[in-house]
Amino acid sequence: MRLLPLLFIAGCGSTAPTGSTAPTPACPKCEPSTASPPVTPSIDDAAVTTKSRAFLDAVDKRDLAAFKASIATTFGMFELGRTRSVPWIITGLQSAIDRKAPPNARTCRGETVRRSATMAVYTGLCTETIPAFDGADAASFEGWSVLVWVVEDGAWKVTHWTWAPGGEDNNIEYWDNAFAQKRHVPFKRTPNQHLIDSVKGLKPGTAIDMAMGQGRNAIYLAAQGWKTVGIDYSEEGLKIAQETAAKQKLKLQTILHDMETYDYGVGKYDLVSMIYVTATPQLIQKTKAATKRGGYWVYEFFSKGGVMSAPGFAPGELAKLFSDWKIVKDEVVEDIGDWGLRKSKIQRFVARKP
């Protein structure tokens, strides 16, 4: 095998005898390539702005062909502390198409562009308007969109999109606006079926509903005879829950507080409802301590690695956190999530404290 390079070199050299003045023939395989490097198409600030508006318009109108044609193979999105994959976005757009939801509208201001020879970054503060549809009121909100453009296959394409609440919005105000206008993120407004199934046949006691929002699950528990407490940092969500409970002549205690820092006490609840909550191991330990002996901890959320890109748990991780409890249910299924209303991997878990 060591002879092969020598043979190759000999084949590329002269065949003239020693001392010959004949020129050495060229070796095509040995000469460097003379192919021209790909040309980066030029673009100015106005063109970046126009292309960015067209991309956002494709999303608002659910134009899947235009969206796919505009993104690079490395495309990703980041919003509200979460990454969003291409499949996640496409399934959301397709879901809106299937439901025949009217297109959204968007007007942007404060637009800026920064460019280099191979990259362009667009930033705009946009007011998004969502029409009334399917029983939900019309809504509008502000958000910053940052689009990063790169050249791929001779064309400028979006490789990254960041969205963040704009104006005076922050995460709490975002959810206040969501619950007040009922149309920020598509979500199920009736009680969670897994929770319904989990408490069926149980003797009602004290319950706490984590991240209760507008109270769809807390109100259901109260109607079933549970002495229910709901905690959330959205004042608007708690207000709606209290109004709904009053109309139904139900008793419901609400707590306006950050779930992570609240003191839940020890042995206070017969039921902890953890439905579509971003639960950290620290929060889980606090709620485990707050559960009475014989009490239940009920959980449903997106499984880690699913299309929703949510910070959930991988299969088996919750079971390890509850290794000292009796595991009643631990499954991951393909189903329509209560939040986002799209098919994804859903984790359903129930454990009982010994």
pLDDT (0 to 100) of residue 176: 66
CA separation for the pair 145, 137 (Å, rounded): 24
Domain ranges of the chain: 45-181, 193-352
pLDDT (0 to 100) of residue 328: 97
User: 193-352 belongs to which CATH class?
Assistant: alpha beta
CA separation for the pair 86, 66 (Å, rounded): 14
**Whole-number percent of the chain with pLDDT over 90:** 62
- Amino acid in the structure at residue 50: T
- Taking CA atoms, 239 is separated from 83, 102, 245, 252, in Å, by 30, 29, 10, 11
Please, are residues 220 and 200 in contact by the beta-carbon 8 Å criterion? Answer: no
pLDDT (0 to 100) of residue 10: 36
Which stretches of the chain score pLDDT less than 70? 1-39, 167-174, 176-178, 180-186, 305-311
- Amino acid in the structure at residue 42: S
- Minimal CA–CA distance to 56: which of 146, 185, 120, 164? 146
- Minimal CA–CA distance to 87: which of 319, 308, 331? 308
Q: Which residues contact 236 (CB under 8 A, 6 or more apart)?
A: 175, 176, 177, 179, 180
pLDDT (0 to 100) of residue 178: 65
CA separation for the pair 254, 286 (Å, rounded): 18
Neighbours of 83 (CB within 10 A): 12
Q: Which residues contact 122 (CB under 8 A, 6 or more apart)?
A: 48, 49, 52, 111, 112, 113, 145, 146, 147, 149
Q: Do domains 45-181 and 193-352 have the same CATH topology?
A: no
pLDDT (0 to 100) of residue 6: 32
Selected from 3.40.190.170, 3.10.450.50, 3.40.50.720, 1.20.1740.10, the CATH number assigned to the domain covering 45-181 reads 3.10.450.50
CA separation for the pair 264, 163 (Å, rounded): 34
pLDDT (0 to 100) of residue 19: 43
pLDDT (0 to 100) of residue 280: 86
pTM: 0.57
- Taking CA atoms, 68 is separated from 59, 157, 326, 353, in Å, by 10, 10, 47, 49
Q: Which two tokens stand for residue 69?
A: 């044609």
